[in-house]
Structure 1
Amino acid sequence: MAKRQNVLGINGIEGGDGPNTEEYNQIDPNILDCFPRASFPVDLFHWREDIRVLSPVYRAGREVDRRLRERLRGLSEQGLLFFSRNQIEAYTACVACNLDTALDDPNLTWEEKAGVFIGELARRQDAVYAHPMPQELDGLTRALSSFCVYVVEDSRRMGTVVQHLHCDLGPERRRINGSLLALAVYMEMHRGDIIIEMLETVALGFFLYDIGMSRVSPMMISRIQQLTPTEQRTMREHPRMGLEILNRLNLTRPELAEPVMQHHERLNGSGYPNKLSGDSIGHLGRIAAVADSYCAMVTGKPLRQGLAPINAAAELVGKERHYDQMVCRTLVRFLQTIPSSQQPS
């Protein structure tokens, strides 16, 4: 396609049979409704069928008045409004405000939709941890419901999600990474035998597994120096604090309580808070323990780098007195299906 620039400094695109869909995508009216009302995040183009040209009609960031908004929506309803995929990140950020709309958007690849999901789930999870109230919980539950339905439709989608996790192993991502990895391991262990209603409950349990840490002082969590014995005792109480939060929210199902209470328990009884051992530790507690420990190992800290994924997985497999080896081996097999190019070197 040849380009020509107008007085606004926006390139108009001369087409042949139509816009190149690898470079320019249509914008659906429902997508347009996701954009901020005051200004839009991407440049917009009108496909002029009479002269076979994509003509610029809006530059990103400029004010949108009522007349312009109505005009753009009209073009969108006719299938004549396009944006450049060079601005896909800004476009995706807006679509993320409505997961159902994002899932139906043909302009987004599954890789891009996975990024939308992770961002939205992390936002919803952070909201619940910051303010564990029914309204925030409802937002997380609805987002998880959409996510579970989508990944069950195609098991390969969960692998793409885990690729994204390994692209960002920063400390601020440890919570969401641990939750999603636990869910991935659960789905792998129950492949072919997943009931969507149960999966949604299990997913919520994994997303709330560390909520007791919201009761621990941020200064204690970020402390570089070793904690005092008193602080260590306080830290080890966070699973019980998490259970108190669940009870206050009337979340009494065992699938929710088990990851919260048992993600620090170890098979040989050396864990906390109840020093459970062997069969006293449930299936979901064992998965949460492996996922949480793996993410702790690969996540960097101020005084040490995170381990390479292969080294962290090998270390878990070598600790058979602490971790369920069936869960560990499932994690290893699953990680082996993730392209190494997506993992940190």
Structure 2
Amino acid sequence: MNKKKTKESISEEYYPISMEILQSFPKYRPKVDLYIFKEDIARLYPIAKKDVRLSNEQLEEIYQACKDEILFVSRSDQHIYVDLLSKQAELVLFNSNLLESEIVQILMQALEMRLGLLLEQPLPAYYEPLYKDVMVFCEYIWKDTKRINAFVPKIETKEFKVAAHGVTTLIIGCWLYLKTRNDDTNRKNFERLALGLILHNIGLCKVPAHIVYKDAPLNKEETEKYQAHVRQGAALLNKFGLSHASIIQTVVEHHERSDGSGYPAHLTGSKISDNGCISIVANAFADLIVSKNGVPRVTTLEATRQLVKDASLPVALTGVLLKAYADRYFPDV
């Protein structure tokens, strides 16, 4: 029997653990069942049960098995190790055994978690972990820009939540950027756009939650308080040391409209930056596909149709979204 082939077939149902991944697990009480590949019988043998304390001898055997690349966990425990890895998202860059779907889940969960914590406490100490994970996301995508396509079907399409909305806007915005980028595009531009997209609604942490999550249309006073989040977001960028114009534009222009009907500066046409145009379309799309302020969600296809009909939006970008359905990049959900 071909042992290499056998191990590869096992990897379809079991995940081979690298040392970096193993060290991310609780040391003496693993949260998953652990298995060792026995080459003499070409089968996996259980060595540790989840949440059962390990002896020092077992721990030594497990670490040796990991070094020998014969330590596995069941992919049926995916939800457990994905949750663990989302707290150390950078590990996805150093492990070739993770499935693409697992990496997508890990990065999206990590970004939503980090953004959620920052929204609760908008301090530099909470911004830094988010920045780190955004850079991991950018590194992963930049190595193969087609990878962004795997993120699109996983975007939030239920109830509006600020953190999840930030991740959806990030993914849609990055997808638009990579589909329409010019030849002079570089990674630094991409990273700045990504930061601006995920932080575009950071100012909502300064708006009362009963307004943000109101299950009915906002009245005039509530609307004024809600719209203030754009300028409050700009102030927070300064607090986080983010001064590059392209990042600021992505955040402060995401509610502008080309006919001047947007806010806060009522910019028109070419006065809206390229990054601003991307954040406008990505944010509008992300708003439509979730239930928000008493307005029921629409399908992703219907959302795109509405955006295309809206002449106040950047036509070139909404057209790209609509064409995406013909190319089957977006599921109609």
Distance 1:18 1:230 in 2: 66
Amino acid of the residue matched to residue 44 of structure 1? Answer: L
Match 2:159 to one of 170, 181, 202: 170
Check 1:52–1:259 CA distance in 2 against 1; reply closer, same or farther (3 A cut): closer
Distance 1:250 1:25 in 2: 40
59-68 vs 108-117, which deviates more?
Answer: 59-68
RMSD (CA atoms): 2.3
Name structure 2 gaps, 5 residues minimum. Answer: none
Distance 1:201 1:331 in 2: 22
Match 2:317 to one of 323, 327, 331: 327
Distance 2:229 2:93 in 1: 36
Partner in structure 2 of residue 75 of structure 1:
65
Match 1:154 to one of 141, 144, 153: 144
Per the TM alignment, residue 280 of structure 1 is displaced from its structure 2 partner at its CA by 2.0
Per the TM alignment, residue 242 of structure 1 is displaced from its structure 2 partner at its CA by 0.9
Per the TM alignment, residue 142 of structure 1 is displaced from its structure 2 partner at its CA by 1.8
In the TM superposition, what whole-angstrom CA distance separates every residue of 1:181-226 from its partner, at most 9, and x where no partner exists?
A: 1122122110654311221111111111111111000011122233
Distance 1:264 1:214 in 2: 17
Tell me, yes or no, if structure 1 residue 186 matches structure 2 residue 180.
no
Per the TM alignment, residue 267 of structure 1 is displaced from its structure 2 partner at its CA by 1.2
Check 1:104–1:337 CA distance in 2 against 1; reply closer, same or farther (3 A cut): farther
Match 1:290 to one of 281, 285, 288: 281
In the TM superposition, what whole-angstrom CA distance separates every residue of 1:148-187 from its partner, at most 9, and x where no partner exists?
A: 1221222221011111116x44322222211221122122
Tell me, yes or no, if structure 1 residue 231 matches structure 2 residue 250.
no
Partner in structure 1 of residue 308 of structure 2:
317
Match 2:257 to one of 266, 287, 298: 266
Name structure 1 gaps, 5 residues minimum. Answer: 1-14
Query: Secondary structure at the residue paired with 1:266?
Result: coil
Whether the aligned pair in 1 keeps the contact of 2:217 and 2:295 (CA below 8 Å) is no
Match 1:211 to one of 202, 218, 224: 202
Check 1:300–1:81 CA distance in 2 against 1; reply closer, same or farther (3 A cut): same
Check 1:333–1:192 CA distance in 2 against 1; reply closer, same or farther (3 A cut): farther
Tell me, yes or no, if structure 1 residue 202 matches structure 2 residue 208.
no
Q: What percentage of residue pairs aligned between the two structures are identical? A: 24
Partner in structure 1 of residue 237 of structure 2:
246
Partner in structure 2 of residue 131 of structure 1:
121
Check 1:17–1:199 CA distance in 2 against 1; reply closer, same or farther (3 A cut): closer
Amino acid of the residue matched to residue 93 of structure 1? Answer: D
Distance 2:63 2:298 in 1: 50
Distance 2:42 2:216 in 1: 66
Per the TM alignment, residue 325 of structure 1 is displaced from its structure 2 partner at its CA by 0.2
